[in-house]
Amino acid sequence: MLIAVAPSAMDNISTTALARPLVHVPAGSPISLAARLQSTGSYSECWDSLMELQACSGEVILFFLNGETHLGTSCCQAILIIQNSCWPAMLGSLGFTQEEGDILHGYCDASANGNDVVRSPLLPSTVPIVKGA
């Protein structure tokens, strides 16, 4: 019974896929792909920031694990460039939650403004244990 139903159900399904148009670069173009990717435009700044974020991913992970790791200036600069100028959702696609992205952005904003931020807000503050006599 299932075998007879499945082919008839498949007959009613149609799919349409449209590809985005490709940018045509003439064969004799003096500007190579490498030159375009390394140009001094905003795209190169975004790619550079993404590569820097990859390089400092250990710092970011430790920041959330122990809450006291200092994120370096270049790491924060990369985070701010990515979120402000390039791909605001990029941190989410790298596996960070919206809350974690907001925390990183806030931390780096505060660091850029000269404020000392020491703890990750994801970690609960420690309460001193008082031993009774």
H/E run at residue 75:
helix 73-81
Residue 19 has pLDDT above 70, yes or no: no
Given a contact cutoff of 8 angstroms between Cβ atoms, the answer to whether 94 and 123 are in contact is no
pTM over 0.75: no
Asked whether the predicted pLDDT for residue 78 surpasses 80, the reply is yes
- Identify the residue with better confidence: 49 or 127: 49
Cβ-proximal residues to 67 (8 Å cutoff; 6+ apart), any chain: 119, 120, 122, 123
User: What is the model's pLDDT at position 103?
Assistant: 92
What is the distance between the alpha carbons of residues 60 and 120, in angstroms, rounded to a whole number? 10
CA–CA separation, 133 vs 127, rounded Å? 19
- What percent of the chain shows pLDDT beyond 70? 52
Check whether 24 has a pLDDT greater than 50: yes
